Amino acid sequence: MGLLKKEIKDVTLKNAPENFKLISPEIQKDFVNAAATETINLIVKDIGGSLFSVLIDESRDISMKEHMAVVLCYVDKSGCIIERFLGLEHVASTTAISLKAAIDKLFSKHGLSISRLRGQGYGSASNMQGKFNGFKALILKENSSAYYIHCFAHQLQLALVGVVKNMLMFLNFFLSWLV
């Protein structure tokens, strides 16, 4: 343990009242949650009644739990385009219906309305962009002004994979790193 770390621990544990050490994991999680809540409240306040777009991606963590990452995009009062991470929501599954229920719950929790949504961006997974039953379609049924745009980062990844596959020189270069 470093000298500074030991000094801080000694002072904290000797001078703090027994119930006010702020070192338990529960208290630290409370601080993180409070900071996240305040940050999200500021984001929602900045959006106000403005129109916004959403970027969503689903993923699985190391414990095999499914999550939905949500980013809001909007234009602030100064005319600047802002992208803000709203949160990572646990979802029971990554079916379109499950994702729609999760976004409805998240929007409701933060006072956001799908009626203010003007854009939606996702990758190319069938559960996301399915024409009839995908997440995109479920949003469009509720708000026909929430235009779908394929996620540019995913498009870039697909383009790079396509280029590399067609260019033997690049393929050999990247394969040499694996050996």
Whether residue 101 is found in the same domain as residue 28: no
b/e 53-90 (16+ beta carbons within 10 angstroms → b): bbbbbbeeeeeeebbbebebbbeeeeeeeeebebbebe
Strand ranges for the chain from DSSP E: 52-60, 66-75, 81-91, 117-122, 147-150
Please give the Cα distance from 108 to 21 (Å, whole number). 36
Whether residue 86 is found in the same domain as residue 168: yes
Whether residue 35 is found in the same domain as residue 101: no
pLDDT, tens only, 23-73: 677 878 888 889 889 999 999 999 988 999 998 887 777 888 888 889 999
Whether residue 66 is found in the same domain as residue 38: no
Q: What residues make up the domain containing 24? A: 1-47
Whether residue 11 is found in the same domain as residue 92: no
The three-class DSSP label of residue 117 is: strand
Per-residue pLDDT 10s for the chain (179 aa) are 555 677 766 666 666 666 565 667 787 888 888 988 999 999 999 998 899 999 888 777 788 888 888 999 999 888 899 999 998 888 888 788 888 999 999 999 999 999 999 988 876 554 565 555 678 888 889 988 888 876 665 566 666 666 656 666 666 776 776 65
What is the count of structural domains for the chain? 2
Whether residue 3 is found in the same domain as residue 63: no
Whether residue 76 is found in the same domain as residue 108: yes
Q: Give the pLDDT confidence score for residue 95 in this predicted structure.
A: 82
Whether residue 72 is found in the same domain as residue 148: yes
Whether residue 73 is found in the same domain as residue 4: no
Whether residue 129 is found in the same domain as residue 157: yes
Both tokens assigned to 44: 């929602």
